[in-house]
Amino acid sequence: MSVRASSLRFGLVIGAGVALAGCGVEPATEFGVSTFEVVVTKVNGAPPPTADKPLGANHGDTKDTWDFTVSAKTATGELDKEFNGYVRLSVNPGAVEAVRGVAARGRNVLLRDGKAAGSVDVLLVYGPVRLWAEDLGYLPVGLTSTKKPSCSNGADDNGDRLIDFPADPGCYAADDDNEDGGSYAAGVSAPIHYALPRISDVRGPSGTPYPYDAIEVKADPPQELVVTRVASDGFYVTDVAAAEASHGFNSIFAFNFSMPAGMRVCDRVTYLAGTANVFFGFTELSFPSFQLSFPHVGDKCLVPEPVLLDKKVLGDPRAMKAIESSLARVEGYRIGKFLGPDVAKGNKPGVGRSNCDFNGNGQIDYETDLEGSCSDVCTKDPDCSEWTAYLARNTFKMALGEGPNAAMILANATSVSGFDPVGHVGEAIPSMTGTLRFFSGGKLNWTLEARCSDDMVCKGAGCQAKALSSQQACVRLRSIEDNDQGTN
Ligand SMILES: [Ca+2]
Ligand SMILES: [Ca+2]
Ligand SMILES: [Ca+2]
Ligand SMILES: [Ca+2]
C-alpha cells in the first residue's frame, strides 16, 4: 500500500525526512493521493433528497441504499490513476452496514486505477449525512485465505521491528495483508439530506435507536416544542404538533443535573440538542443545550392538558410508554393506608407500619428472606408503600380499586410544598397531575411526579381546591417588562 500522501502532506510543510523519521515509514518521492472525491449518485434508486424535501430520520429498522463513486485525487486535483487500494467507507451520523459492489470487502471498497463505484447500505442516518472514504492502509484478505495475511504471519514484513496486529500500528486488523499504514487521505461527499429526528424518533417505540449519539432534535415547524415542567435536575419537553400528539412518544426528559436557569413552563424550545441515553428504561437527553422563546402574559400557553390515567391506560404498557415524560393525571386514586415507620411484623403491613427494614440498616436486603418477602407483600398490596423506599425516593403508592385488580402507580409530591403524604394516608385524592417517569427496576415502573403545588388537589395543607388547566397550573408567564429573559 502506498504511503505517498502522508509524506506529501508533511513533506511539503516541514520536510519529508524530519516528518517521517519518527513514523517509521519510507520517505516518498512521488506525488500521490491527496483526497478522495466521493459522490452519492442515488439514494434508494432515486436522485438524492434535497434540503427542502429530506428523507425521514432512519431508525435502524430499515436500511437505505446509496449508490456512490469514489475517485482518488492528487493535490492538483487530477485523478490519481496509480492509486490501487482499499478505502474505508463510513457515514456520519449513522452506520454503514455493508458495502456492495464487485470490489467490496466488509466496509471497504477497492479502488482500481484510482476509481471505484458501488453501493452502501446505511442505517441510523439523520440530519445532513455525509459519506466518508479514508485510506487506512488496510488490505483486507480475510483470515480464511490459505496464505496468512501480513498482519498475522508472525513476521516483520516492513522492517519497522513491529510484528503483526495489533503491535504494528500499520496493521488495521488481523486480516490486513500490509503492515504499512495508509496515507490517511480522506474524502467526504456533499450532505445527503435526512430530517433531524423528532422527539418521537429519539424516543422510539422501544427505547432510543440513537444511544450515546449527540443529537440535535427537530424543533422547527411543523414541530412545536414546549416546556411542560422545570425540575430540580432538568426539564420536560413535549412536541405538541398535531401528528406527534396523536402518535405519542412525543415527550422527553432533558437531564441537566440542575434546574435549568431562566426556563419556565410554557417556554417554546426553538433549539434542542443533547446525548440520547436510556436510564433503566427511561429515555433522556443528557447534557442538553437549548434555546427558548417566551410567551408573555396574555399569550397562549401550548402545554397540553394532562392524559387521564384510567385503569385502561395504566394497564396498557404500550399506551403508557407512549406518554412517558408527558403530563398525566390521576383522579380519585387513594394514597395507600399503610405508610409509616413502624416495622411490618410478620409480613403484615398496617396503619403506621410499612417498614420492611427489619435489621435497621436503611435498606431492603432482598437476599434475606424476611425483608425481601415483606417488601414483596407490600408491593402487591394496593394500600402499602414500603417505608424504606419512601424515605429513599419520596415515592408513595396511589391506587384505584381493591385487591389484585387495583390500578396502582407510584407518586412523588416533593414539589408540592406543605404536602405530607403520611398525613393523607387512606384519602382519595380528587386529582393529582404530573410528569410520568419510568424506572425498569421493581414491579411498579411508573411514577407520577407533581410539578408544583398547583398539581395537587386535596384537603388540608399544601392542597389546591380544584384542578387547574394547563394554561394555569405551574405557569408563571413573563410580563413584557420582565427582564428575566436569559437562558444560561
Ligand atoms: Ca507480519
Ligand atoms: Ca512491521
Ligand atoms: Ca496496513
Ligand atoms: Ca435491611
DSSP for 208-236 reads -SSTT-EEEEP-STT--EEEEEEETTEEE
**Closest ligand to residue 25's CA:** 2
| Model confidence band, residue 484 (pLDDT cutoffs 50, 70, 90) | low
Residue 238: predicted pLDDT: 98
Over 60: is that where the pLDDT of 26 sits? no
Cα–Cα distance, 476 to 484 (Å, whole number): 12
Decide whether 4-137+180-193 matches 199-302 in CATH topology. Answer: no
Q: What distance in angstroms lies between residue 484's CA and the mean position of ligand 1's atoms? A: 66
pLDDT at 30 over 80: no
Is pLDDT above 80 for 399?
yes
Q: Please give the pLDDT value at position 404.
A: 85
Cα 167 to ligand 1 centre (Å): 10
**Ligand 4 centre from 387 Cα, in Å?**
11
Q: How far is the CA of 90 from the centre of ligand 2 (A)?
A: 27
Q: For residue 205, how far is its CA from the centre of ligand 3 (angstroms)?
A: 42
What is the 343 CA–ligand 4 centroid distance (Å)? 11
What's this model's pTM, rounded to 2 decimal places? 0.84
Band (pLDDT 50/70/90 cuts) for residue 207 is confident
Grade residue 368 by pLDDT with cuts at 50, 70 and 90.
confident
What is the average pLDDT value for the chain, to the nearest integer? 90
Cell of 37: 472525491
Is the per-residue pLDDT at 14 higher than 70? no
pLDDT reported for residue 487: 42
CA of 65 to the centre of ligand 3 (A): 28
Least distant ligand from the CA of 177: 3
Q: pLDDT at position 140, please?
A: 87
CA 66 to CA 52: how far, in whole Å? 19
Rounded to the nearest angstrom, the distance between the alpha carbon of 99 and the centre of ligand 4 is: 56
pLDDT of 443 > 90? The answer is no
Quickly count: other Cβ atoms within 10 Å of residue 408's Cβ. Answer: 21
DSSP single-letter state for residue 479 = P
Cα-to-centroid distance, 149 and ligand 1 (Å): 7
Residue type, 144: T
Distance 151 CA to ligand 2 centre (A): 8
Q: How far is the CA of 363 from the centre of ligand 4 (A)?
A: 4
Ligand 2 midpoint to CA 86 (Å): 19
CA distance 426 to 458: 12
Q: How many A from CA of 28 to the centre of ligand 1?
A: 22
CA–centroid distance, 211 to ligand 2, in Å, is: 38
Question: In angstroms, what is the span from residue 162 Cα to ligand 1's centroid?
Answer: 8
Mean pLDDT along residues 411-434: 96
For residue 181, give the ligand nearest its CA: 3
Q: How far is the CA of 359 from the centre of ligand 4 (A)?
A: 5
* Residue 41 neighbours by CB distance under 10 Å: 13
Residue 235 and residue 254 in contact, taking contact as beta carbons nearer than 8 Å: yes
Write the pLDDT tens digit of every residue in 98-147.
999 878 888 999 999 999 999 999 999 999 999 999 999 998 887 676 78
Residue 483: is its pLDDT beyond 90?
A: no
Interval 15-31 mean pLDDT: 40
Ligand nearest to C-alpha 359: 4
Question: Are 445 and 261 within 8 A, CB to CB?
Answer: no
Given a cut of 60, whether residue 323 has pLDDT beyond it is yes
Kindly give the distance from the C-alpha atom of residue 8 to the centroid of ligand 2, in angstroms, as a whole number.
22
- The domain ranges of the chain are 4-137+180-193, 199-302, 308-457
Is the pLDDT reported for residue 385 higher than 70? yes
CA of 171 to the centre of ligand 2 (A): 8
What CATH number matches the domain at 4-137+180-193, 1.10.10.10, 3.40.50.720, 2.60.40.10, 3.40.920.10? 2.60.40.10
Average pLDDT over residues 355-380: 90
Helix (H, G, I), strand (E, B) or coil at 280: coil
pLDDT score recorded for residue 217: 97
What CATH architecture does domain 199-302 belong to?
Beta Barrel (2.40)
Select the highest-mean-pLDDT range: 45-49, 83-87, 367-371.
Answer: 45-49
Span 216-229, mean pLDDT?
97
Interval between CA 181 and ligand 2 midpoint (Å):
10
Calpha distance 38→127 (Å, rounded): 19
CA of 174 to the centre of ligand 2 (A): 13
Res. 380: pLDDT tops 70: yes
Q: Which ligand is in closest contact with the Cα of 176?
A: 3
Distance set, CA 5 to CA 30, 366, 473 (Å): 9, 62, 64
**205: pLDDT confidence band, cut at 50, 70 and 90?**
confident
Ligand number with the minimum distance to the CA of 371: 4
Q: Are 109 and 102 in contact (CB under 8 A)?
A: no
When comparing pLDDT for 404 and 272, which is higher? 272
Q: How far is the CA of 34 from the centre of ligand 4 (A)?
A: 66
Distance 392 CA to ligand 4 centre (A): 13
Mean pLDDT of the 154-173 span = 95
Which ligand is closest in space to the CA of residue 388? 4
Task: Report CA(329)–ligand 4 centroid distance (Å).
Answer: 34
